[in-house]
Amino acid sequence: MLKKLELTQEWDKVFPKSDKVNHEKITFHNRYGITLAADLYEPKEYKGKLPAIAICGPFGAVKEQSSGLYAQKLAERGFLTIAFDPSFTGESSGQPRYMASPDINTEDFQAAVDYLVTNEKVDADRVGILGICGWGGMALNAASIDTRIKATVTATMYNMSRVGANGYFDEGDNADARHELRVALNTQRTKDYESGTYVRAGGVVDPLPDDAPQFVKDYHTYYKTERGYHERSLNSNDGWNVTGTMSFINQPILEYSDEIRSAVLIIHGIEAHSCYFSKDEFKKLTGDNKELLLIPGAVHIDLYDNLEVIPFDKIEEFYNQYL
């Protein structure tokens, strides 16, 4: 039996509510029997069936943060949008909490597409997706599987399986480093089972060390301050089950991204520490309906919530062209 969710009804986003859109809380389910919670946004005035976009990310964030901001802004521009919490996260169900899976989280995007193509307000032939940060990789992975997805946007994308296996900047891309990582994680699994609790990691460091890398300082600015903090966000708190993401090491996503025939727009800040992910993934794509947009001077979190940097005009133009 699918779990019935008790969703928060008051407005608890990190961004102000728009008076140009209608908003409601919805749920849908994936093929693993997990009930997903989402915010649906739609223009206040429209005619006929709408093009629709499912949005998720960043990795460890919730729909009250960046994905909801994107969803609301795109609804203002004429799209029906949903920003959803992935499995095990936020208001969505799934036990144990704070887990992640390349398979299940790709399925989350496909389940969102299931919801949209069967929604009476939506034109089923005009459905796209948008993934932010770690969910940019999941979105591109879903696009390589699901032919119902006509257009995909990724913003400041990470390939989570690559960073899981190789470390940041591929600094651990060798068999010895991966073996040491596996030993450490499996040693921790034993301790977790003995204690009956899961060690969590991946949350933003707090207090922030003076010598922290700039991108860690950027994350702290977003997730630990009023700008982006949310009580349900794993990144604002203690992070993921540290041994619960081991499968990313041996299950690379984006294996067949070169076979995506639908349209793709990859957006990244030139100054973002993870820009190499987007550049490398774009090189693999084929066809004249693929585009890479690098934004001068933009750091990683600028594409989370900086309305002066996020190229909504370009995103709108892209979706209008291909949806």
d(CA 230, CA 223): 8
d(CA 78, CA 47): 10
Per-residue pLDDT of the chain (323 residues; tens, 9 = 90+): 677 898 999 999 999 999 999 999 999 999 999 999 999 999 999 999 999 999 999 999 999 999 999 999 999 999 999 999 999 999 999 988 888 999 999 999 999 999 999 999 999 999 999 999 999 999 999 999 999 999 999 999 999 999 889 988 899 999 999 999 999 999 999 999 999 888 877 778 777 888 888 888 888 888 888 889 999 998 888 777 778 788 888 888 999 999 999 999 999 999 998 999 999 999 999 999 999 999 999 999 999 999 999 999 999 999 999 99
The whole-number pLDDT of residue 77 equals: 98
pLDDT (tens digit per residue) in 81-127:
999 999 999 999 998 888 899 999 999 999 999 999 999 999 999 99
d(CA 108, CA 138): 9
Helix-then-strand count for the chain, H and E:
10, 10
Structure tokens at 57: 């990310």
Q: Which residues pair with 127 in a beta bridge?
A: 52
The whole-number pLDDT of residue 312 equals: 98
d(CA 265, CA 130): 9
d(CA 118, CA 52): 11
d(CA 269, CA 198): 35
d(CA 49, CA 29): 23
Output the CA–CA distances (angstroms, integers) from residue 201 to 124, 195, 241, in the order listed.
39, 17, 6
Q: Quick one: which of 68, 97, 73, 33 has its CA closest to 237? A: 97
Residue 50's CB is within 10 A of a number of other CB atoms, namely 21
Handedness of CA 110, 113, 117, 119 (dihedral sign): positive
Output the CA–CA distances (angstroms, integers) from residue 63 to 56, 218, 231, 246, 295, in the order listed.
7, 20, 12, 24, 24
How do 290-295 and 122-132 pair as beta strands?
Answer: unpaired
pLDDT (tens digit per residue) in 261-280:
999 999 999 999 899 999 99
Q: What CA dihedral angle connects 138, 221, 303 and 8, to 10 degrees?
A: 60
pTM: 0.95
d(CA 29, CA 277): 30
